[in-house]
Amino acid sequence: MNFSTKPLPGFKGYRLPLAISLLSVLAACSPEPKSREAVLVAAPPVTAAAAAIEDQSFTNPLFANGADPWLEYWQGNYYLTTTTWTSQLVMRKSPTLAGLANATPVNIWSETNPKSCCNFWAFEFHRLQGPDGPRWYMIYTSGKQENLDGQHLSVLESAGDDPMGPYQYKGSPMPDSWNIDGNYLEHNGKLYLLWSEWVGDEQLNWISQMSNPWTLTGERMVLSRPSLPWEQSGRKVNEGPEVLKHQGRTFVIYSASFCDTADYKLGLLELTGANPMDTKSWTKAKHPVFERGNGVFGPGHNGFFTSPDGSENWLVYHGNNKETEGCSATRSVRAQPFTFKQDGMPDFGTPVPEGQTVAAPSGENGPLVVVPEGVKWQVVNRATQLCLASSAQGLTEQVCDEQGSWIIDPTTKGRYRLVDSEGRFLGANRDLSAWVNQPSQQWQLNAGPDGYYQLLNAADQKPFTMTNCKAEDGALCQDWLLLPTGNTVVSSRQSGKVLSTEDCTAGNNTLVTQQSWNKQGCQQWNWKAGQAGYVQLHNSLNPELCLIVKDDALATGADLVLGNCAAKSSQWALQLLTNGAVSLLSQHTKQVVDLPSCSLFDGVGLKQTPEQSDAICQQFQLRTAD
C-alpha cells in the first residue's frame, strides 16, 4: 500500500500515514476535591487464613498503544482512559495501579455520526458540579470519518457518580472549528475550559470561561504559544494543557514541540495573578519540566493523580522506547511519582527507565474504608432463602427485602470483592473489615449448572457457607443466588449503549434494542428471582412484562422482546464473568443475549445466539441509573 506522508491540514502537527487517519487502530486503553474520599483506618487484625499481601509493584510501560492517558483514583478504584483512534471510548478499572495492565477494556461510549464518529483522542473525565449535582464529565476529541480536519471537542455527562457511566451526550463547546485536548480549570467558583488549536503555523493553548461543562461563555484568550526554541522541535506546538494544584498554587503543565519527534516534552505555566483570563496573570517557565531520558522518548500529554492515602503525587504520561517512533500507536502508558521542591514548584524528575521496578502508590494496601461504585446485590442462600447482610455487629442472615446489601466489585485475576454500605469487605473468616488488599478479602465466583454460585475464597479456595445449616441441606448451604437490586442499566461492553425498547415503548412483543443513554424508563431494568437460580428481567416502563425470546423460539438469531413473565424463555442465568462483565444465558434455549454484528448503531435489536468464549458482543456491564 502506498502511504502518503503529506501533513494533514489542521492536524495537531502530526505527520502520519494517511491510512492511519482512515483506519481503526487497535483500541487500548487519566484531582479535583471529592466529597466521598477513601478513609484510612487502623489496621484490622490479620487472621491465620489471610494470605500475604500480593506485590503490586510494576514496571513501565503499563501497556502499549496508550497515548494521551488520563487517570483518576475514585472510591477504591483507578480508572484509566487513553486515545483509541476508533469510534469507541475505552475505560479500564482496577483497585491497583499495576492491575490496569491487564484490566478488561470496556467501551463506555461510541458514536456513529460520520461528522463526529471517528478518530477518538485524549479522553479526560472530571468530577464537577453539574445541574443535577456532582457528575463525571467526559471531554474528548473526535472528528470526521474521512480525515482529521474536523477534530473538535465533545462532552458527555454521567448518570450518577460512577466514572464508567452510563454517559449521555451533552454537546460540543466549539463544534464548527478545529480544537482538541480539552481540560477544565476550576478557580474562585468559576469554571474554565482549556484547549489547543492552530493559528497559522503555531498550535496554541487557549482558555475561556464556561457557563456549564459543555458551554463556553464570553471571550477566548490565548493561554500559551510556542515562543521558546525548545517548544519548536519539528513544529511550533503547545497542546494538552493539564491543571495541577498544590498548596494554593495553580499550575498548567502542557505538551510542547511536535509529537512526532523524540523531543516532545512538558512545559509549565503558573497562575501568578488573580484573573485566569488576563494573559499577564500567567507566568511561563523558561525551561521544560519533563523531557526525554533513560531511553524514553517523547514523554508528554500527561495527567495527575494522588495515591489512595493522599500522601503521594503521581504523573501519568505516554512515551516511546525508540527515538524514531512518533505520535501513533507506538506510544505507551507510563506512571511515576513526583514531588515538589522547597520553592513549591513541581519536580517531575526524569522518565523512569523501562523495566525498572516502581513501588505501588502509597495506601493501595490500606487499610481503607471505601465503597466502590456499582449496583447493589442481594446474596441469597439456596437452602434457607435468607439473604446475607451486615450490621454493626457483623454478618447476619435475614429475610430478604427489596434492598441489596452488597456491591460485587471486580478486582484482578478473575476475582471479586464483596463490600457493604459501610465500606467493609467480606473476608474468609466471615469477618467484615477495612480493605487491606489481601486474597482473603477476594472471591472467585464458581457458577453451578443451574444459576447458583459458590463463593470460593481466593486465599484458601474454601466455599463460603451459610451458618446453622441443616445437615440434610448439605452442599446447598454453599450455593448462592446473586440478584441485582434497584433500577439498573445494562450496557454493552462493545458499544457502551444500553438495553432499551424499540421507540421507548413497552407493550407485548416490543423489540429489545440498544440505544444511547438518555435517562428514559425504558432503559432501566429490575431483576426478580425466578425458578431455581435463574432470574427474570423486568423493564421499568412496564414491570408486568419480562425479557423473553420471541415465541420462545429455539432458533439462533431469534429476537428478544418484552413478553409474558410466564413464558418458558423468561428465565435467565445471570453469569458473572472473570473479566467483570456479565452475560445472560436462557434456561429454555441455552443461548445467550447477543449484539448482532457487534453493531455500534442505535436501534439494533438484540438476539439470541450460541455462547462463545470471550465474545465481547455477548458481554454487558451493569450500572446504576443514578
The residues annotated with a catalytic role in the active site are 68, 239
User: Is-contact 327 16, C-beta < 8 A?
Assistant: yes
Give the end-to-end CA distance of the chain in Å, rounded to a whole number: 49
CB neighbours of 311 closer than 8 A, spacing ≥ 6?
A: 362, 363
Instruction: Give the count of alpha carbons within 13 A of 385, CB side only.
Output: 5
Sorted by sequence, the CB contacts under 8 Å of residue 27 that are 6+ apart come out as 65, 84, 85, 86, 88, 90, 105, 107
CA 172/CA 116 separation, integer angstroms? 10
Rounded Cα distance, 242 and 253, in Å: 5
Work out the number of other CB atoms within 10 angstroms of the CB of residue 93: 25
Alpha-carbon distance of 371 to 159, in angstroms, equals 18
**Distance between CA 432 and CA 390 in Å, rounded?**
8
- Please tell me the distance from the alpha carbon of residue 421 to that of residue 296, in angstroms, as a whole number: 44
3-state secondary structure 60-80: CCCECCCCCCEEEEECCEEEE
The neighbour count for residue 538, using CB atoms within 10 Å, is 21
Please state, in angstroms and rounded to a whole number, the distance separating the CA atoms of residues 599 and 160. Answer: 26
Across 593-609, b (16+ Cβ under 10 Å) vs e yields bbbeeebbeeebbbbbb
Locate the DSSP E strands across 295-383: 297-306, 313-320, 332-340, 346-347, 357-358, 368-369, 376-381
Query: Rounded to a whole number, what is the largest CA-CA distance in the chain?
Result: 82
Contact 487, 525 (CB under 8 A): yes
Interatomic CA distance for residues 486 and 120, integer angstroms: 33
Residue type, 209: Q
* Residue 602, phi then psi, degrees to nearest 5: -65, 150
Cell of residue 358, nine digits? 516502581
Q: In this structure, what C-alpha cell is assigned to residue 292?
A: 526525554
Of 224, 266, 280, 270, the closest CA to residue 247 belongs to 270
Rg of the chain, C-alpha, whole Å: 25
- Pairwise CA distance, residues 364 & 357, whole Å: 16
The cell for 428 is: 474468609
21, containing H or E segment:
helix 18-22
| CA proximity to 609, closest of 591, 582, 585, 586 | 591
* Cα–Cα distance for residue pair 538/548, rounded to 1 Å: 10
* Other CB atoms within 10 A of residue 470 CB: 11
The contacts of residue 403 (CB under 8 Å, 6+ apart) are: 376, 485, 486
Scan for cell 464529565, then name that residue: 137
Return d(Cα 242, Cα 269) in angstroms, integer: 10
